Amino acid sequence: MNKCFILLLYFSIHSSPTLSQVIVPETSYKNNVGKFYLYWGWNQENYSNSDISFEGADYNFTLDNVNANDRQTKFGFDAYLNPTNATIPQYNFRFGYFLTNNYNISIGIDHMKYVVKQDQTVKISVRIDGKDTEYQGNYLNEDIVLKENFLVFEHTDGLNYVNTDIRRVDELLKIGLIDISVKEGFGLGVLVPRTDATVLGREKHDKFHVSGYGFNIMFGVNIKFFNHFFIQSEYKAGFINMQNIKTGFSELDKAQQNFYFGQYNILFGYQF
Taking the C-alpha atoms of residue 224 and residue 222, their distance in angstroms, rounded to an integer, is 6
Domain boundaries, the chain: 2-49+71-119+149-271
CA 162, chain centre distance (Å):
9
Radius of gyration over every alpha carbon of the chain, rounded to an integer in angstroms: 21
pLDDT over 60 at 16, yes or no: no
pLDDT over 60 at 195, yes or no: yes
Q: Please check whether residue 128 is in contact with residue 135, taking contact to mean a CB–CB distance below 8 angstroms.
A: yes
Distances (CA, A) of 66 to 69, 98, 136, 203, 262: 10, 41, 21, 22, 17
The DSSP bridge pattern shows strands 68-69 and 103-116 to be: antiparallel
CA 68, chain centre distance (Å):
13
Question: What does the buried/exposed string (b/e) look like for 39-48 if buried means 16 or more CB atoms within 10 Å of the residue's CB?
Answer: bebbbebbbb
Mean pLDDT, rounded, for 31-40:
92
| pLDDT tens digits for range 149-162 | 999 999 998 899 99
Is 116 in a helix, a strand, or coil?
Answer: strand
Taking the C-alpha atoms of residue 254 and residue 199, their distance in angstroms, rounded to an integer, is 10
Q: What fold characterizes domain 2-49+71-119+149-271?
A: Porin (2.40.160)
Q: Please check whether residue 250 is in contact with residue 57, taking contact to mean a CB–CB distance below 8 angstroms.
A: yes
In terms of DSSP H, where are the helices of the chain?
2-14, 17-23, 77-81
| pLDDT tens digits for range 89-103 | 899 999 999 999 999
Nearest to 204 by CA among 246, 244, 243: 246
Model confidence at 147, in pLDDT bands (50, 70, 90)? very high
Strand partners, 224: 179, 230
Percentage of the residues of the chain whose pLDDT score is greater than 90: 71
Q: Dihedrals φ, ψ of 79, to 5°? A: -75, -40
* Per-residue confidence (pLDDT) for residue 30, from 0 to 100: 65
Taking the C-alpha atoms of residue 22 and residue 78, their distance in angstroms, rounded to an integer, is 46
Q: Please check whether residue 3 is in contact with residue 238, taking contact to mean a CB–CB distance below 8 angstroms.
A: no
